[in-house]
Amino acid sequence: MTEHLIVTDEGATRVITLRRPEKKNAITQDMYRAMSDAIDTAQNNPAIRCMIITGGSGAFTAGNDLEDFLKDSAAKAEAPRASNAVKFLYSLAQNVKPLIAAVDGVAIGIGTTMLFHCDYVLASTTAKFSTPFIHLGLVPEGASSLLIPRTMGHQRAFAALVMGRAMDAEDGKAAGFVNEVVAPGHTEVEARKVAREICALPAEAVAISRRLLKLPPEDLTRRIDQESHLFGERMKSQEAIAAFKAFFARKKA
């Protein structure tokens, strides 16, 4: 476990909270491992009926911690394909429990793409969704190239994934991946209400119906693998190397 992730079981609901406010909850390899574990250990636990993932108030997540990501990539010949981020994405793809996201503030990169694995998404009026993979010379991940067009159509998906255009909470609701827009600081409270509603329903009927609604896990993991392979190739490209250099130069400036 990591100090930057808090996992609590509240009745029949497991709450997974990203807690790294000084970095806008940017996700490290340790955090990915801890999130995977929190999801995986709930799968065969009948006491856990539902899960919530949240970043608390102010930020959902700024996405990958790029310094930590590059350090991990340099240490592994197969990275990022073998990274903990991919293991986390597998956990999302294979998850059988209803998953609610409570998004307050920024949701960048995987902060947005993970939402398309969720079953119910609440966003505050300060939520900002963006997938700037192309700006770093990279490609989409998390089966987002499969799930996002399926949810909101090719044209909106192209604007988000290829052009890197950001969306606010109302845009997300119009696009079909946000269920409710709430006041800042209220996403977790409302998420717990939704969780209680889900937990009060017949468990087996919920599980079967959810499975019917979702794409087969093997379709998702196949696309995750395909994207991950291309992502790894792109990491070595001149476009990506130049983009990362420019990114870190801006950070130091």
Cα(62)–Cα(74) distance, integer angstroms: 22
The 10s digit of each residue's pLDDT in 134-163 is: 999 999 999 999 999 999 999 999 999 999
The 10s digit of each residue's pLDDT in 200-253 is: 999 999 999 999 999 999 999 999 999 999 999 999 999 999 998 888 888 776
pTM of the prediction?
Answer: 0.93
The 10s digit of each residue's pLDDT in 83-116 is: 899 999 999 999 999 999 999 999 999 999 999 9
Question: Does the structural domain 5-186 have CATH classification 3.90.1300.10?
Answer: no
| Cβ atoms of residues 167 and 111 within 8 Å | no
Q: Is 120 a residue whose pLDDT tops 80?
A: yes
Q: Strands 50-54 and 59-61, how do they pair?
A: unpaired
Tell me the residue ranges of DSSP E strands in 75-231: 99-103, 106-108, 120-124, 128-130, 167-168, 180-182
Cα(199)–Cα(206) distance, integer angstroms: 9
Q: Is 49 a residue whose pLDDT tops 90?
A: yes
Cα(205)–Cα(168) distance, integer angstroms: 34
Q: Is 82 a residue whose pLDDT tops 80?
A: no
Please choose, from the candidates 117, 122, 100, 90, the residue with its C-alpha nearest in 3D space to the C-alpha of residue 53: 100
